[in-house]
């Protein structure tokens, strides 16, 4: 059994052994640049960690792990264009370093390459994994569109927001976990448990990401970036629900304006109504649901240790 750092090392070695190259270097260079920016590699690590719940032959899971990471980075490349983000992991985004056309086209290739990788598996397994990837990709597109829709809406319900981040973010971690189970030949029941583990872990992760975007720059992105983009996270939703009439109007006015001190004023309102604490508590609830789903899997407790530690470290952001 390999631990998290060993899984990361194994994945990185495999990734570097499968470089992006072709006869038109301008197509592949932006994709290569983004992949080399690093990141937590959370999704491929989940794929590998889940696989070794059942089997030690991790080479069987490496193509799925790579496909998941390529798809994830493709989605980031296009998200950054839509969000007009200048930074990704503390470095210039692809469209900032190259240009928008290069980012769109290179991202399109990454999407296609995802399926090229998955098609390496034997026919029956390939069909199942590609079907899961298709379902996941559609959900992510739906989540992204909901997120865009929310920017022009004043009132958003908590349940609507959770549905959006479930589709936009959590389903990919869920798919990563299930793919690890699929490549290991796990039962359908265990595949479902592990999918729900990934789904709840993904929700916990995104909620903590929302918190850190506002209250702590540990993400390599601009501090308060969601506020500047008028994104209605749960921090906004909870504050709007609890605020008195005066503060409610102030928050709505801030989200409609472009004041230089917009971010600190919004953060003061979030803090006044305890939105940050509520967000962290909800993140912990989903993390516990992920742990419960893992506990239901038919595998030895010793083999679950690594995934349990991953879920614990998820909220601490030590991974």
Alpha-carbon torsion, ordered 228, 232, 234, 235, to 10 deg:
40
Bridge partners of residue 87, in order along the sequence = 92
The domain spanning residue 302 has which CATH number?
1.10.600.10
Q: What is the pTM for the complete model shown? A: 0.93
pLDDT band for position 318 (cuts 50, 70, 90): very low
Q: What is the mean pLDDT of residues 131-152?
A: 95
Count structural domains, the chain: 1
Instruction: Return the pLDDT at 217.
Output: 56
Per-residue pLDDT for 178 more than 70? yes
pLDDT surpasses 70 at 205: yes
pLDDT of residue 155: 87
User: Which residues are 91's β-sheet partners?
Assistant: 88
pLDDT at 230 (0 to 100)? 85
Mean pLDDT of 212-221: 69
- Rounded Cα gap, residues 51 and 48, in angstroms: 5
Under 8 Å between Cβ of 233 and 201:
no
Summarize pLDDT for 48-99 with one digit per residue, the tens: 999 999 999 999 999 999 999 999 999 999 999 998 889 898 899 999 999 9
| ∠ CA 211-75-114, rounded to 5° | 135
Residue 317 CA to residue 319 CA, distance in Å, equals 5
Residue 186 sits in which domain range?
A: 4-316
Q: At what angle do helices 171-183 and 123-150 cross, to 10 degrees?
A: 170
Helix, strand or coil for residue 91? Answer: strand
Helix (H, G, I), strand (E, B) or coil at 39: coil
Q: What is the mean pLDDT of residues 206-222?
A: 77
Evaluate if residue 255 carries a pLDDT over 50. yes
pLDDT at 221 over 60: no
Please give the Cα distance from 205 to 72 (Å, whole number): 15
Chain mean pLDDT for the chain: 94
């Amino acid at each position: 059994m390999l631990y998290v750092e060993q899984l990361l090392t194994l994945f990185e070695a495999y990734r570097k052994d499968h470089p992006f190259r072709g006869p038109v270097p301008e197509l592949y260079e932006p994709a290569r640049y983004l992949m080399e920016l690093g990141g937590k590699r959370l999704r491929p690590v989940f794929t590998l960690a889940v696989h070794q719940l059942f089997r030690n032959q991790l080479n069987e899971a490496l193509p799925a792990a790579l496909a998941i990471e390529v798809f994830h980075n493709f989605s980031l490349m296009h998200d950054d264009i839509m969000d007009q983000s200048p930074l990704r992991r503390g470095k210039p985004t692809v469209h900032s370093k190259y240009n928008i056309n290069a980012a769109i086209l290179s991202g399109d290739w990454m999407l296609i390459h995802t399926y090229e990788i998955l098609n390496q598996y034997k026919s029956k397994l390939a069909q199942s994994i590609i079907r899961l990837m298709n379902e996941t990709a559609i959900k992510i597109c739906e989540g992204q569109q909901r997120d865009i829709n929310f920017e022009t809406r004043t009132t958003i319900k908590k349940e609507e927001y959770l549905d959006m981040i479930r589709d936009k973010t959590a389903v990919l971690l869920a798919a990563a976990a299930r793919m690890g189970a699929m490549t290991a030949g796990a039962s359908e029941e265990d595949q479902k448990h592990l999918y729900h583990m990934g789904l709840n872990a993904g929700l916990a992760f995104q909620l903590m990401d929302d918190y850190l975007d506002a209250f702590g720059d540990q993400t390599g992105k601009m501090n308060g970036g969601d506020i500047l983009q008028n994104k209605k996270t749960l921090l906004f939703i909870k504050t709007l629900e609890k605020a008195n009439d005066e503060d409610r109007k102030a928050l709505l006015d801030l989200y409609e304006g472009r004041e230089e001190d917009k971010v600190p004023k919004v953060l003061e309102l979030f803090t006044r109504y305890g939105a940050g604490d509520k967000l962290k508590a909800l993140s912990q609830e989903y993390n516990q649901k992920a742990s419960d789903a893992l506990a239901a899997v038919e595998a030895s407790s010793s083999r679950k240790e690594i995934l349990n530690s991953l879920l614990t470290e998820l909220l601490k952001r030590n991974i």
